[in-house]
Amino acid sequence: LTNYCNLNCKWCAIDRTKKKENLDKNLLEKILKNLVFDRRFKNIRSIRLWCFGEPLLHPDFVEILKIIKEYKQMALEKNIKFPKIMLSTNMTLLDKDLSKKIVDLEILNEIRFSIGGGSKEKFEEIRKGAKWERVYKNLLDFKKINKGKIKTTIVCIIDNKEYGTNFMTKEFKSILEEEIKKSKS
């Protein structure tokens, strides 16, 4: 949806010299029309709303989800399987209001929360520009609002010098332990 981000993460490969761009809604509609009306695209299994950028920065993010929902509805009416819709976010912009809009639209099949570090200090060192307290609050708020409607996944990057979870703070451990329990059930 975007080719830019609001953070400057330690291991990120975003080319910050490129012009900032957002996916055009007309192009999105063209792609979605092909998914619904052109059977050559029948084997597409997922649409991932990310690739080297923070999707929530798209100025029309909610509108994008509404457009996808329209085409998904068209596909269902034609008895055509629609791809899973997945989102990955750094959660800095995922406040309660946006969380509610995302959940209420009932379009995402999965949302991936990208965190890292294992502690507030490591997180903020890796995710330059992010504040742990805000991201953690956004995560907890989303989970309360979501109530399990959208599958959530945690993507946690840690320094390769650390192993296991002993070095992690209680907050990080609780997030990851919850994720491990979900994957086993």
pTM surpassing 0.85? yes
**Chain mean pLDDT for the chain:** 90
Model confidence over 126-141: pLDDT tens digits? 899 999 999 999 999 9
Higher pLDDT, 167 or 55: 55
**Residue 157 backbone class (left: φ over 0; alpha: ψ -120 to 50; beta: rest):** beta
Amino acid at 5: C
Task: Give the mean pLDDT of 3-31.
Answer: 90
As a whole number of angstroms, the distance between CA 156 and CA 143 comes to 17
Q: 13 falls in which pLDDT band (50, 70, 90)?
A: confident
Q: Which of 151, 130, 134 is nearest to 87 (CA)?
A: 151
Instruction: Give the model's pLDDT for residue 181.
Output: 73
As a whole number of angstroms, the distance between CA 88 and CA 28 comes to 18
Instruction: Give the model's pLDDT for residue 95.
Output: 97
Q: Which residue has the tokens 């990851």?
A: 176
Is 179 in a helix, a strand, or coil? helix
Task: Give the mean pLDDT of 13-19.
Answer: 86
CB proximity list for 78: less than 8 A, separation 6 or greater: 36
Percent of the chain topping pLDDT 70 = 95
Percent of the chain topping pLDDT 90 = 68
For residue 87, list its beta bridge partners. 111
Model confidence over 28-70: pLDDT tens digits? 999 999 999 998 988 999 999 987 899 999 999 999 999 999 9
